[in-house]
Structure 1
Amino acid sequence: MAKRTIQEHYNNFGYFKTYIGKEISADEMTTELFDGWITYMIEEMNYTPGTVNIRVRTMRAFLRYCYEDKAWIHEPIHKSFKPIRAPSLNYVFK
């Protein structure tokens, strides 16, 4: 990966750590935790779907790595939450 991509992964993981506010164990990594984070970003932080989806994709990649490559987590929770749907925009061109 490019240096910038790696830095963005660290940044996005940091946003998640700020949301949870503490260190957690692998057993505490649940779908509900990530669903809550997504809801928080949308409803409380008022982030755009694009911003939310960048962060969701980054965390899904990290969780997939933790599950498939390292066996640090024992449930494939990366499969349980997905990027959100962005509202479709209908533009009228004149």
Structure 2
Amino acid sequence: MNGYCYILECSDGSYYVGSTVDLERRLSQHELGIGAAYTRSRRPVRLVWYECYPRIDAAYAREKQIQNWGRDKRRALIEGRADELPLLARNYADRFSGE
């Protein structure tokens, strides 16, 4: 069974990261306000990125990975700037290491 990892942009400009086995159904749930509590008060939402995986557990693992990323790194992923992802991870770490 396929799984999807996705990012929604909410009406307040924030991002929501999720995973599902049925992307269309899940998007509909978010739009109707019966999706995640986070998106319920931030509608309308807009799908800005997704990836398909052969199994839902892989999509869920990717969701958890992306949830730990900062806004700049998520934006780079959404915009297809994969080459910047490692740099953004290092810059994020450097901000808190005192260097």
Same fold (TM over 0.5): no
Taking structure 2 as the reference length, what is the TM-score of the superposition? 0.26
Taking structure 1 as the reference length, what is the TM-score of the superposition? 0.27
Q: Name the one with the larger helix percent.
A: 1
Q: Name the one with the larger strand percent.
A: 2
